Amino acid sequence: MTKNKKRTIKQRFAQTVLAVGILWCLLISVSAAESSIKTYYYEIHVHAGLIADSIEYLKARKFWNATSHQKTLDVPRIIIVTTSQNWRKESKSVPVEVKKELFYRSILPMVLFSNELIMDERLELEAINSKLNTDKKLTSEEQATLQSIAEKYGMEDKKNTQKQIAGLLERVDIIPPSLALGQTAYESGYGTSRFAVEGNALFGQWTYSGNGMKPKEHRASKGNYGVAAYRWPFDSVRSYMQNLNTHNAYQGLRDKRAALRKQGKDLTGMALSEALGSYSEKGMEYVKTLQSIIRVNKLAVADNAHLRDEPVTLIVGVDSKEEIKETEAKIEEFRASGKLDKILREMRLQSVKRSTWVPREL
């Protein structure tokens, strides 16, 4: 999308059709002999992205209640696949508190789901570590799992396996949800920034690949940088967590998190935010602003939130109610074709364990 040109309905519809087609290809064949494969179920919700409709949907899912800030949040398994252009426009005309509440409740499920996938990896590591501590030999599957996790987190060259696992356990860990919510609100302007709208960039992460979205005021002294764009909002969430868990600039955050683990203390956004001076050129001024966002918006409640044990709901946003039926018809068409399996797998909605995704109604 250029500076002065909005995407046409036709272009938007084409993108939505592609996304929806991918979702319906989540059915992956598996033989009865592969009983170790975990099956996940999902359903799809297509809507026009209007704020009033979004709130009604969350109410129906029992996830819109002002008093719930005083409770442990019970969060539906919602993943946003495509977003409607209506949000950027409509969010200007609703009370700020409604805008914030809807944004946080839309992002929190993806943050928790990403953390859940990280914890799957951490549990795998802990199980392998326990086995090694009893001098037992790892199976070929366990060795492959360890290698996969090590490559993902940039620690594949360690010769001492137990030291390697110790290092990985400092990296393979959750990011407090309140911290993630505070940062995405700050970096994306509650999902209304150009980078968020055009590239699903929720955390303002830079890239020097040459493929990033260029800021309007590009500073040549900083090199050929841009803001990383993502195909799916969930990719942005996972990339953000991967960045904090692997980049050298955030070693302090990982050290603090490991220390809290060792002391048996809770991992909170306020505690870890103190180690994020390197996230922005503003340094500690950024940290103070981030802490203010967490405190003023009472985001700490998210640190104790948990996902419901239910099928994942994949949210597909379209720009008008007239597009809903067309999109649902395309869903059936793409479901029958089964041509987009490869693209689907790129969504990476699973951990290192083998898994398959099937529609809830099958």
Tens of pLDDT, residue by residue over 134-179, are 988 999 999 999 999 999 999 987 688 889 999 999 999 999 999 9
Mean pLDDT for the chain overall: 82
Dihedral of CA 31/311/43/202: which sign?
A: negative
327 pLDDT more than 50: yes
Cα separation of the two ends of the chain: 38
Beta carbons of 205 and 240 less than 8 angstroms apart? yes
Rounded to an integer, what distance in angstroms lies between the CA atom of residue 93 and that of residue 65? 21
What percent of the chain shows pLDDT beyond 70? 76
Instruction: Count the Cβ atoms, other than its own, within 10 Å of residue 257.
Output: 23
pLDDT in tens, 12-39: 444 554 444 444 434 333 333 333 445 5
For residue 6, is pLDDT > 60?
Answer: no
Q: Which amino acid is at 201?
A: A
Asked if pLDDT for residue 109 goes beyond 70, the answer is yes
* pLDDT tens by residue, 251-268: 999 999 999 999 999 999
What pLDDT was estimated at residue 144? 92
Question: CA-to-CA distance for 332 and 59, rounded, in angstroms?
Answer: 28
pTM of the model: 0.85
Distance, CA of 204 to CA of 178 (rounded, Å): 17
- In this prediction, residue 224 has a pLDDT band, given cuts at 50, 70 and 90, of low
Q: Which CATH architecture has domain 9-359?
A: Orthogonal Bundle (1.10)
Q: Provide the 10 A C-beta neighbour count for residue 173.
A: 21
